[in-house]
Structure formats: C-alpha cells, structure tokens
Structure 1
Amino acid sequence: MVSNQVKNGQVLLAEPFMLDPNFKRAAVLLCEHGEEGSVGFIMNKPLDMQIDALVESFPEFESRVLYGGPVQRDTIHYLHTVGDLLEGSRPVGNGIYWGGDFEKLKFLATSQLIEPKDIRFFVGYSGWSEGQLDDEMTLGSWVVADMHANYLFNMDSGQVWEQAMYNKGDAYTVIANMPEFVSWN
C-alpha cells in the first residue's frame, strides 16, 4: 500500500537526530513514489567536483554535483528546469524534471541552451523498497515538506534542510534552529 502522506515532488526532511550518516539532516526531493518503491535525490550534500570532470565526454560545464544517495553510487542522475527542451524528461513537479536524453543534454550544454544554474547532477540516488518509506514515515524518520525550486537551483545547498524546516512554520522553526550537535547548546 502506498502512503497518502508523501507524493512525487515533495521534500523528505530527515528528523534532526537521524543517525544514518547518509541521511543526517538530509533534504531529499522525492521523484518517484509508488507500489514498487520510491526514488529521490539528496539536495544538500554537495561533492567537490564538476560534471565535466566526472564524465569525460561531457563538455566544459561548471555545474554542481551532489551526493544523491547511497544507492548505485556509480550512476549519474540529473534534475533540471528544461523539460521542454530535453526529450525523455520526467516531470517531478514545480517546474522540475528528472533525466532525459543524455546526448541531447550534452548538445544543449555545448550550445549554451542550458546553463549550470538550470541543472543539478547527482552521484547515486536514495531508494526505498516497497513499503520501506511508508514504514520509515510511521516511525517518524522523515518530515514531509513542500518543494520549492529555489531549494535546488538558487540556495546554498548547506542551508536547504534548515530553510525547508523553517518554511513549515510552528514547531519546525525551532527544529530548524537546533544545532546539529546537542553539545553546541
């Protein structure tokens, strides 16, 4: 059974004391949630590399690469705003698209029809098997938030978790201001 609590295009915010180092204070954009499982990408764990250094055949292109999650860390994925130009893109929500024809993407980059500000690349992804995310939601591991494209394309990735918590209001504002380590209080 698929949970009605979460849906494609929402953000999963790790509860503040999650111990799993892959998801500590992670903000995950959920791109697929269905009967067979769920897929998303961590938006706030940047890697110190550019896509053209990671993929030899990619044209010179100064775009951020992020750690998408612990699953298949030998794969590259991308989220972007140019779904109308990139065949095979899947809409995620709020003007954000997932994937598309990689050869066409390289052409768009070379032709400057897509700019680094319009796309984010990810190494690996975050995945949940059938029912796993629903179980984690029941345990309180995640807080669901609305997605704003600014989280992915215009913000310092280190501030995404805090900002998304803050934007939820009420008690979440207090959580957003909590230090990462309790000893910092």
Structure 2
Amino acid sequence: MIGFQSLAGRLLVAMPGIGDSRFEHAVILVCAHGPDHAMGLRIDRPASGVTLKSVLNRLDVAAPDRTASTPVLVGGPVERERGFVLHTDDWTVEDSSSPIVEGLSLTATREALGAMTDPLIGPRRSVLLLGYAGWGDGQLEEELADNVWLTADADMDLLFDTDFDTKWARALAGIGVDAARLSSQSGRA
C-alpha cells in the first residue's frame, strides 16, 4: 500500500456513539499494524472479579499475596482466554517478546507471568490482558476514515496506571479534546 503508515505504539480513542458496546469509551494500544491487519489491546477495562493472583493460581504459577489486588484487563473481544503481558522493554524473552515501540514490548508466555511478580528480574511496569482487538484488511483504516477512532500518542503512565475510569478522558485531553464537548454524532464533512 503506497503511503501506508503504521499506528503501532499509538492509541485509538473511541468516539462517542461508536455503535459497538464492547468499545464504548475504549482506549486501545495498537500493538501491530500492517497493510492487511491490525492488533491492539484495550488498556482501560479491568476484567470483573479477575486478579493477577487468581490467574496465576489457575495456572499453578507462584502468586505473591500482593498480586491479589493487581487487576487483569480485558484486552479485547477476540480469544478472551489468551493472555498477553504488556511491559516495559527492560525485560524481554528472546524469540518470544515482540517490541511495539522503543520502551514497550508484548510477551505471551508463562515466563512473562512469573516475571511480572518478581521485582528483581521482571519488567519495571507490566499488565496482564486477556483477549485482544483485531482488524482485517483495511478495516481499521475504514473505521478511522469514518471517524470512529481518534489517534493519540501513548505514554507510560496512561498505559500502566490503574485509574481506569479516567483513561478515556485523559487520552482525549492529551490531544486537546474535551470529552464533555464531544457529540455522539459522527460523519464526514
């Protein structure tokens, strides 16, 4: 595709009235984006009743007590049982970690789960997400053209903090948009 520009490492911020309840007020980190596909993780929606400790216990991985309050996020509606660890790139696994942008990687192995709980060897910041959002050939570009999403720069605090209720408004504020002034009407000029 001529002039294709990857959005990997950028945020997709849902416009009001997106028309899909799974993505209302969503903030999604684009992890991979090519001319024929895109994959992202929603960073603002904790999984109800699921903690890092409960997931680790289910997988027979040592779960320190402090992980009982660590939220697990719903990364998206596709493959909801599949886990992804989004983390700083100060910890990676050769041949398993995928760099997203400088400073940020994605790993989907049991080793990453163990590393999340070890402050001495693990990544400085990390979060476990279940599922992902995916787009087929041209689908994301069409949604962007239809003003379904705004794009924004990602910052580490927004990606990893646990103030989930305000992430959408903060992502919008980061691009100069006041969430209170957005209309749920969309269209093209």
Shorter-chain TM-score category?
Answer: 0.7 to 0.9
- Name 2:27's counterpart in structure 1: 27
- Name 1:153's counterpart in structure 2: 160
In structure 2, do the counterparts of structure 1 residues 60 and 179 end up closer, same or farther at CA, with 3 Å as the change threshold? Answer: farther
Secondary structure of 2:135's aligned partner: strand
- Name 1:177's counterpart in structure 2: 180
- Name 2:93's counterpart in structure 1: 86
Offset at 1:90?
1.5
- Name 1:95's counterpart in structure 2: 103
CA distance in 2, matches of 1:2, 1:32: 18
| Residue identity matched to 1:164 | A
1:106 to 100, 105, 114: 114
| Residue identity matched to 1:127 | G
What number of residue pairs does the alignment pair up?
176
CA distance in 2, matches of 1:135, 1:95: 29
Structure 1 runs not aligned, ≥5 long: none
- Name 2:72's counterpart in structure 1: 65
1:89-144 deviation per Cα after TM superposition (whole angstroms, max 9, x unaligned): 112125121115432541563574237x7111111100001111011111111001
User: Given that residues 36 and 130 in structure 1 are in contact (C-alpha distance below 8 angstroms), is that contact kept between their aligned partners in structure 2?
Assistant: yes
Structure 2 runs not aligned, ≥5 long: 185-189
In structure 2, do the counterparts of structure 1 residues 162 and 74 end up closer, same or farther at CA, with 3 Å as the change threshold? Answer: same
* TM-score, normalised via structure 1 length: 0.83
In structure 2, do the counterparts of structure 1 residues 107 and 165 end up closer, same or farther at CA, with 3 Å as the change threshold? Answer: closer
User: Given that residues 94 and 149 in structure 1 are in contact (C-alpha distance below 8 angstroms), is that contact kept between their aligned partners in structure 2?
Assistant: no
Sequence identity percentage:
28
| Residue identity matched to 1:35 | P
User: Given that residues 2 and 131 in structure 1 are in contact (C-alpha distance below 8 angstroms), is that contact kept between their aligned partners in structure 2?
Assistant: no
